[in-house]
């Protein structure tokens, strides 16, 4: 599970997969030639998908790259959300002043 707010808070559970596409689909595209010529394609596909999950779709990798603010345990979700809502409760967004008024046409 990944929670993302508009202005930056992003929390992920340890079981989250953070990737552009599912590992199985990515493996099909990235290793198409290898899988088509292999006699044990299903076994190799599962092996490559597991490797993809471990190396690329891992929430800890995303946290190290700054895409996720924190990886939390599921039991911490309620407390983290409550804290985030309390912090953001008084937040005000400063908008730039208008450059032009609305003139009737």
Which one-letter DSSP state was computed for residue 96?
P
Indicate yes or no: pTM above 0.85.
no
Q: pLDDT per residue over 19-48, tens digit each?
A: 888 888 888 888 877 788 767 878 888 888
Q: Residue 27 falls within a domain, yes or no?
A: yes
Most confident of 53-57, 75-79, 92-96: 75-79
CA-to-CA separations, 102 to 94, 98, 99, 105, in angstroms, rounded = 21, 10, 10, 9
* pLDDT class of 1 with cuts at 50, 70, 90: low
Q: pLDDT per residue over 48-65, tens digit each?
A: 888 888 888 889 988 998
pLDDT value of residue 99: 76
The answer to whether residues 35 and 13 belong to one domain is no
The answer to whether residues 14 and 29 belong to one domain is no
Of 84 and 37, which is predicted with more confidence? 84
Expressed as residue numbers, the domain containing 9 is 1-18+62-88
State how far the Cα of 95 lies from the Cα of 64, in Å rounded to an integer. 31
Q: Residue 79 falls within a domain, yes or no?
A: yes
């Amino acid at each position: 599970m990944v929670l993302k707010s508009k202005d930056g808070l992003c929390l992920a559970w340890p079981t989250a997969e953070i990737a552009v596409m599912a590992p199985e689909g990515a493996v099909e595209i990235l290793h198409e030639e290898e899988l088509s010529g292999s006699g044990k394609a299903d076994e190799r596909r599962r092996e490559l998908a597991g490797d993809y999950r471990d190396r690329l779709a891992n929430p800890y990798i995303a946290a190290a790259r700054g895409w996720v603010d924190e990886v939390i345990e599921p039991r911490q979700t309620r407390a983290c959300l409550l804290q985030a809502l309390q912090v953001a409760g008084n937040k005000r967004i400063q908008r730039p002043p208008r450059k032009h008024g609305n003139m009737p046409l």
